[in-house]
Amino acid sequence: MSDRTTDAPPAQGPAGRGNPAGRGNRGGPGRAAANAVICDDVTYRFGEHTAVNHVSLAILPGETFGLLGPNGAGKTTTIRMLTTLLRPVTGRITVFGVDTTAQAMRVRRMIGYVPQLLSADASLTGRENVELFARLFDVPRRGRRERVAEALAAMGLTDPADRLVKTYSGGMVRRLELAQALVNAPRLLVLDEPTVGLDPIARADVWEHITRLRERAGMTVLMTTHHMEEADLYCDRVSLMHRGTVRATGTPDALKAMLGPEATLDEVFRHFTGGTLDEETGKGGIRDVRQARRTARRLG
Ligand SMILES: Nc1ncnc2c1ncn2[C@@H]1O[C@H](COP(=O)(O)OP(=O)(O)O)[C@@H](O)[C@H]1O
Ligand SMILES: [Mg+2]
């Protein structure tokens, strides 16, 4: 990762605080005013059970947007609709103006998706894993090696790239997953619980890489988490989700200010939902990561 290649102005803070639209953060052709994602009145049901209940969201280009809520809130289901894997029963979703139902393939090409359950293959090297995704996502043969090397470098994995993934730490596996999701140069990076199962140091490390990447590429990031401090530190704006509905949306600072000068995001969540977020999803490292790996399914 180099500081020289940057589209972002140096004044841009670590999380782009106070600049939710990422204005000036994109050197690219995108229209600054357009939304990266619009979810308009979206509902999903598993049988009788309404997992997502008339949810509306608008995510601005260049921002890091957090969907916060405890297990079962409907975060993953929302993300799976957004990534075209599930079809909403009411409402409509667009990604950079493209309808997820009508033009699913176009939407998929714009998205890098890191699912909640990990899917790196431990019996391959890091580089081989990323190459696999490059082929899966139709990264043109010409320049593919460079794109793979760039994605690995962006996640700080150049040195261990040719080692088997079974020798990686949990944090390295997660960064490898990010490299896989990055290899098709997505406009929107979707991360479902990107740091679940990682220790605090590995979590901070993953976030440092995501933040640098975002500053460099002006990418829009949508992430889910139930780690409040993480959302507070790294998200420009968050939506608080509880039992399938969005209860509040805003910058972490604005939401906290509604409760008082000393308020934490956790207290804000309790205020709006009556629920709590601090249930822990099993901690653990590479063993959990490996167990979860095989069950993951991806776009493509
Ligand atoms: N495949 C499924 N079949 C039936 N119910 C499901 C399925 N996936 C999720 N659910 C239910 O939908 C609700 C939302 O789940 P999910 O979107 O995974 O929440 P989160 O990601 O916030 O933990 C939960 O009540 C969950 O039990
Ligand atoms: Mg989930």
CATH number at residue 257: 3.40.50.300
Instruction: Kindly calculate the radius of gyration of the chain based on its CA atoms and give it in whole angstroms.
Output: 18
Q: Say yes or no to pLDDT of 10 above 70.
A: no
- C-alpha to C-alpha distance for 36 and 98, rounded to whole angstroms: 10
69 Cβ below 6 A of ligand 1: yes
Task: Return the pLDDT at 197.
Answer: 79
Task: Return the pLDDT at 298.
Answer: 35
77 CA to middle of ligand 1, Å?
6
* Residue at 112 is within a domain: yes
* Residue at 89 is within a domain: no
Average pLDDT over residues 145-157: 93
Ranges 88-97, 158-167, 219-228: which has the least confidence: 219-228
Higher-confidence residue: 206 or 100?
Answer: 100
Q: Say yes or no to pLDDT of 14 above 90.
A: no
* Residue at 74 is within a domain: no
- C-alpha to C-alpha distance for 293 and 282, rounded to whole angstroms: 15
Domain housing 268: 62-69+105-293
Q: Say yes or no to pLDDT of 7 above 70.
A: no
* Residue at 32 is within a domain: no
pLDDT tens track for 266-288: 899 888 887 666 543 333 333 33
49 Cβ below 6 A of ligand 1: yes
75 Cβ below 6 A of ligand 1: yes
* Residue at 142 is within a domain: yes
* Residue at 29 is within a domain: no
78 CA to middle of ligand 2, Å?
9
Q: Say yes or no to pLDDT of 103 above 90.
A: yes
- Cβ neighbour number for residue 5 with a 10 Å cutoff: 9
- C-alpha to C-alpha distance for 151 and 8, rounded to whole angstroms: 19
Domains in the chain: how many in total? 1
74 Cβ below 6 A of ligand 1: yes
Angle, to 10 degrees, between the axis of helix 170-182 and the axis of helix 286-293? 40
Identify which ligand lies nearest to the alpha carbon of 68.
Answer: 1
| Confidence category of residue 199, pLDDT binned at 50, 70, 90 | confident
* Residue at 9 is within a domain: no
* Residue at 219 is within a domain: yes
